[in-house]
Structure 1
Amino acid sequence: MSIWKSTRLDDHSVMEESKIYLIEIVFDNAIKGVTSSKMKGDAKKALKYWKSFLKYITELETNNISPNDEKKRMTKDNLEEEHGKLDGQQQQQHTDKSQKTDDDETNEGTKAGTPNRSYNLGRDNCNLKLENESMKRQRPETPNLMKKLRKENDKLKEDVETYKLSISELETRLSSILGSQLTAGNPNIADLSDPYRPTLLGEQFRSLYDNELTDLLAYMEKHDLKEPESIAIMCDIIQNIDEFCLKANNQQVRKLFEMVVDEVRNPEVKQQRNMTCVKYTAQNSVELNALQEKTVERFVLDLHKALSSVSCVSLNQIFDTYFMKEFRTKHGQLTDQCKELNEFVSKAIQLLWMMKGHLPPVVLKWCQPDEPFDKVYFSFYTSTGEKVSQCIWPAVLLHKDGPLIARGIAQGK
């Protein structure tokens, strides 16, 4: 410490030349002393080194270094010699301490001998402290940020679900449109989304024979009607229902088509004037071209098919008035109180009406007595043979002369 406090140069020129050099030596020693003290954990001593260095600089600038004590005066060579001694002492201290680990010797020697690195480490430490303080100040905003992020995440999830539903709906609509275009006018391609597609109607029509017809035949047998006669009566009912549904279907489709075309060609507008409804129509109407008529026909057929099940109850009432009253008069044992007959007729009208709603319509195939027995379309009833004795139940075809949907039943001979 005495070498930092007592340097005095009598010769003014020497002082000026060596002042910077002296400051460098003293600064270097101060750094080494501070580093050594920090290694030993002596903070007070390290602080003392810095204070002595600052005091020496101040005295050197003001030339207040005492010249009285000859032992405290040093030349340039003495300062260098003292600097070398300090280097040797500190190197020995580092050598003793490095006996524990070689890595510590290298690191500590580097720290002790490199003032710039010590300065850089101090600066980095200061920057880290400032960054830590900045993070502490921002910490109160973290809960709000997390809340905002969760809210945005929930909204994104809702958007994803909405988009998924939209995509699913669009896929369904596209599939429906493509299916409609593919199956329109092509009975060989079944629309699996149609609950009244021909294959299901064929199965239900065969079920009508297995269930309702069997119950009705049992009822007729109790009223002294023989089986061949009862079967002939039931076939007559089925043929009349089939003819009735075909005529009603054609009339309904034609009427819908005419109503739509007439309204489009010659629109009518109603206005309320002075408590009176006045109708306004144009004097001239416009004819539809072939493409427009075909478009209207396609939509009318789709509309009729989609709503055809609504007409079943009304058609049942009309058929009862049109045909069944005369039938019951002819067959007195089959009154309107016969539950088995009413259920059979009602279900037959529903199935055959839905069959006629297809384009082209589903048809029934009958066989006639004494014609060759066609095993492709019919199964034997109770007896086999090469010819037909009686048609028990008709076969169901996809369309006229089309593929088989359900086989019929016939008595062979």
Structure 2
Amino acid sequence: MITTMAGKQHFSKTTHTPLPKIDSELEQYAGENVQALLKKHAGSGPSETLQNAYQEYIDLLRSYKELSEKHKKEAASLLNTQIRGTITLSDKTIADYKTRTNSSIVKLMKNDKEDSKAIQELHTLISAHLKLKQVKGESKAKEDRPNFSRVRSREDGLRGASNPPKSDTAMETDDKSEKKKELPLPQSLTTSVLQGRPMAHLPMIEYQQLVRRLESQQRDIEEMTTRLSRFASNQVTQGNPNIADLSDKNRPTKIGEKFGELYDNEWSEAYEAFKEKMEIVNDEDEPKVIEQLLRVVHSAQMFCADVSNDQLNQLKKNLKQPILEVSFTSSGGKQRETKSVPEDKGLETSAEKYAKNFRKECALRCIPAVIQLYKSTQGQHFSWARSPHADAIHKYVDRCIELIWLMSVQDPPMYLVSAEKGDKVRTDLFTYYGSKGKVVESTVWPAVLLHSNGPIISKGYIIPMAK
């Protein structure tokens, strides 16, 4: 009895109707996305929906094949429309397509992002099927389905009405006029870009390869355009601070913006930390806190200028040395001969040019080392450097070093300006911190110039003397 039941259970699992097979003659018209969707669901076992989906897919491929082989003009026109460019479908458009398209294949789709390409491929097959019906005269009216073209698109992704109703006069004119002759298909649309054969015979898989190749070529073009733009910018902006290299993410204007953000964010947090550390309660002692914060900026400015100059000299020396001392090592590696050449001004100029470019390109890599070097050599002059609990202060110091270092490696270096006590207030460089006045009491935050005596990049803040 147990054996019989087991046999029945085994028999019930193997009596499913086999899934329809795609004929070899249709394989060349089958795309990879819909096939991948069907195969994924076939792994979990046959079902009625899957059976219908396979049958629907085969019917659509047959329509596509018939349209391509017997109605070349219509097929070429349809393919030319598809090849203009693949557009990204929005989630709303995909959901709308699933709702309004009565398709067994669509019922298998679960994930919108994964099924986007399958929907585009299915849309092409359905369009070919409807085009074939129109050609045969079986369907004159356009099916109500989502359209993915860029022309007259609405926010919901559906195509709006492109042909308004004709007036009575226009209809009478059409009835009286002779039927217009069909224009011949242009030669540019009758051949494949890939192999020069009739475009109507271009299979779906070859179309997808063509799209991928076009996308790859487009990426290559964009990359080469960026590289050419960077090269041209280097030629024009070399030593000219008034022309910005827009491909540089750390160009002076961007650094100036970040320096202003430093004052708005890290400066305010460090200000509160200093007040707590210095046990300041009265507002009258506020300038003492501001003085400590500004002192960090001034020391960082001098430190970064010294380090960047020393780094530039080392780079120039290492660039010139192999040129000035040409050497050769024998095959045995035991004897090395060196011949020296005289140095000239042209070599010095070239070495400085390439050294500055290399220093600037690699400036971000140096930032962690510059910060550690600053704290180990300059921190002894600051009480906050010995306080492990002042995280906000250390964060402020690190950010100061980072941005001032990037200012120092520019060509020419950017410049920080602070007003001295008793100076006349320059409203073109500074903004008032608190009340207004005509004479400077102290500087709260320095102004940033493109270079020494150059144009203003970011304004600073000053405290004026009381009237």
- Structure-2 change in CA distance of 1:348 and 1:157 (3 Å): closer
Q: Does 1:396 align with 2:396?
A: no
Aligned partner (choices 253, 262, 267) of residue 199 of structure 1 = 253
- Structure-2 change in CA distance of 1:147 and 1:186 (3 Å): same
Q: CA deviation at 1:221?
A: 1.7
Local SS of the residue matching 1:318 = helix
Q: CA deviation at 1:149?
A: 6.9
CA distance in 2, matches of 1:157, 1:217: 57
2:435 partner amino acid: S
CA distance in 2, matches of 1:146, 1:383: 76
- Structure-2 change in CA distance of 1:292 and 1:382 (3 Å): same
1:295 maps to what in 2? 350
Q: Deviations over 1:365-401 (max 9, x none)?
A: 1100111111110010012111001111100000000
CA distance in 2, matches of 1:292, 1:213: 44
Contact 1:217-1:227 within 8 A present in 2 as well: no
Local SS of the residue matching 1:359 = coil
1:325 maps to what in 2? 380
Contact 1:266-1:281 within 8 A present in 2 as well: no
CA distance in 2, matches of 1:209, 1:149: 62
- Structure-2 change in CA distance of 1:157 and 1:200 (3 Å): closer
Local SS of the residue matching 1:311 = helix
1:191 partner amino acid: D
Contact 1:392-1:409 within 8 A present in 2 as well: yes
- Structure-2 change in CA distance of 1:145 and 1:232 (3 Å): closer
Local SS of the residue matching 1:185 = coil
Q: CA deviation at 1:204?
A: 1.0
Q: Deviations over 1:104-129 (max 9, x none)?
A: xxxxxxxxxxxxxxxxxxxxxxxxxx
Q: CA deviation at 1:292?
A: 3.5
1:85 maps to what in 2? none
Local SS of the residue matching 2:462 = strand
Local SS of the residue matching 1:411 = strand
Larger helix fraction of residues: 1
1:183 maps to what in 2? 237
- Structure-2 change in CA distance of 1:155 and 1:361 (3 Å): same
- Structure-2 change in CA distance of 1:185 and 1:160 (3 Å): same
Structure 1 residue ranges without an equivalent (≥5): 1-143
2:336 partner amino acid: Y
Contact 1:268-1:279 within 8 A present in 2 as well: no
Q: Work out the percentage of aligned pairs sharing the same amino acid.
A: 28
TM norm structure 2: 0.52
CA distance in 2, matches of 1:222, 1:339: 13
2:400 partner amino acid: A
CA distance in 2, matches of 1:146, 1:164: 22
Q: Does 1:219 align with 2:257?
A: no
1:182 partner amino acid: V
1:311 maps to what in 2? 366
Q: Deviations over 1:323-366 (max 9, x none)?
A: 112312xx69x613310111011010000000011011001011
Q: CA deviation at 1:166?
A: 4.2
Local SS of the residue matching 1:310 = helix
Contact 2:414-2:448 within 8 A present in 1 as well: yes
1:128 maps to what in 2? none
| Greater C-alpha Rg | 1
2:400 maps to what in 1? 348
Q: Does 1:261 align with 2:313?
A: no
CA distance in 2, matches of 1:229, 1:337: 20
Query: Higher mean Cα deviation, 373-382 or 161-170?
Result: 161-170
1:68 maps to what in 2? none
Contact 1:241-1:348 within 8 A present in 2 as well: yes
CA distance in 2, matches of 1:262, 1:358: 25
CA RMSD of aligned residues (A): 2.8
2:320 partner amino acid: V
1:280 partner amino acid: R
2:418 partner amino acid: W
Q: CA deviation at 1:287?
A: 2.8
CA distance in 2, matches of 1:186, 1:146: 53
1:387 maps to what in 2? 439
2:308 maps to what in 1? 249
CA distance in 2, matches of 1:263, 1:184: 25
What does residue range 13-412 of structure 1 map to in structure 2 within 5 Å?
163-223=217-277, 224-225=279-280, 226-268=285-327, 278=334, 280-282=336-338, 284-328=339-383, 335-412=387-464
CA distance in 2, matches of 1:383, 1:279: 76
